[in-house]
Amino acid sequence: MQAAQGAALLVLDEVQKVPRWSEVVKMLWDEDTFTGRPLHVVLLGSSQFLMQKGLGESLAGRFELIRVPHWSFGEMREAFGWDVDRYIYFGGYPGAAALVDDEFRWKSYVLDAIIEPTLSRDVLQLARIDKPALLRRLFVLGCTYSGQILFYQKMIGQLQDVGNTTTLAHYLALLGGAWMLTGLDKFSGDQARSRAASPKLQALNTALITAQLPQSFAMASQDGELWGRLVESAVGAHLLNTAPHGMEITYWRDRNQEVDYVLRQGSKILPIEVKSGRNKGALSGLRNFSESFHAGPGLLVGTGGVALEKFLAVGAEGWMG
């Protein structure tokens, strides 16, 4: 951001941690406006929900919201020279990039300096958490099953908790607000039916998955099933991190037919299937989806389609045509 000549730039980081921060900022903003003080203010915060709440309550009409998601493949390649396989495994945390040659240190950093503070500090600030242990177990489960559709009742069984589906859905929303883990809705022409379906779990950075794995980068890259899951998770995370406001990202399944991701922006619909090269499968899901919803032919990412490296270099909107 370039300030006008004679103007000043004020940057406040982690502003959501200040009690009643939005009211104070509004008071100072109004005071500066009244006195004609040429000041540009940038407010940074890691808690999306708390930032938006404060902005909406006190600063309506006085701000522009700029979302800063996880670093993309292009950014990690430019800054650190990573190839696509390294990005698939180590994800998009620039602060951890210097440690990847010592994987024990890298995993410890992600667990101790990123995951733990985010769960114990940022997420717990978003709302009242009656069962913090359940939220932590849900995060671990979501990373374990990232890229897979999981019934809420099966989640409850896996988590060994007597909670209900409403609680799990709420905790997933909180984790999504912290850019850690989300649950994708099933694509449907009926929004009510879509939201009632089982979610497809999706980590928003593959480092959140791999930091919890016993397998090293070399071992994971040779494990076809695991690597295929990481590739699909990387594609889903890329779509969610680069999607513009208003774009819907869902999945689709009908009996044994499935489409990994469905993008909808206005009247445009794009089904996307991911193939890692080790798990080729069939493409009948794309065909059946296109026939059922009068969509285009869809997009195949990976083996036989758009190269993964090329796909990850373009944001979600760039593939809508």
pLDDT tens per residue, range 208-232: 999 999 999 999 999 999 999 999 9
The two three-digit tokens of residue 78, written as one number:
């430019």
Burial 57-86 (b: 16+ CB within 10 A, else e): ebeeeebeeeeeebbbbeebbeeeebebbb
pLDDT tens per residue, range 81-137: 999 999 999 999 999 999 999 999 999 999 999 999 989 887 876 677 888 888 999
Residue 1: per-residue pLDDT:
47
Residue 92 and residue 70 in contact, taking contact as beta carbons nearer than 8 Å: yes
Q: Specify the DSSP class assigned to residue 149.
A: B
Residue 56: per-residue pLDDT:
61
Residue 274: per-residue pLDDT:
95
Residue 43: per-residue pLDDT:
85
Highest mean pLDDT among 146-155, 162-171, 182-191, 297-306: 297-306
CA 79 vs CA 65, 71, 76, 83: distances in Å: 25, 10, 5, 11
| 277 pLDDT more than 70 | no
What 3-state class would DSSP assign to 317?
Answer: helix
pTM of the shown model:
0.86
Rounded Cα–Cα distance for residues 170 and 280 (Å): 35
Residue 56 and residue 89 in contact, taking contact as beta carbons nearer than 8 Å: no
Residue 294: per-residue pLDDT:
85
Percentage of the chain exceeding pLDDT 70: 88
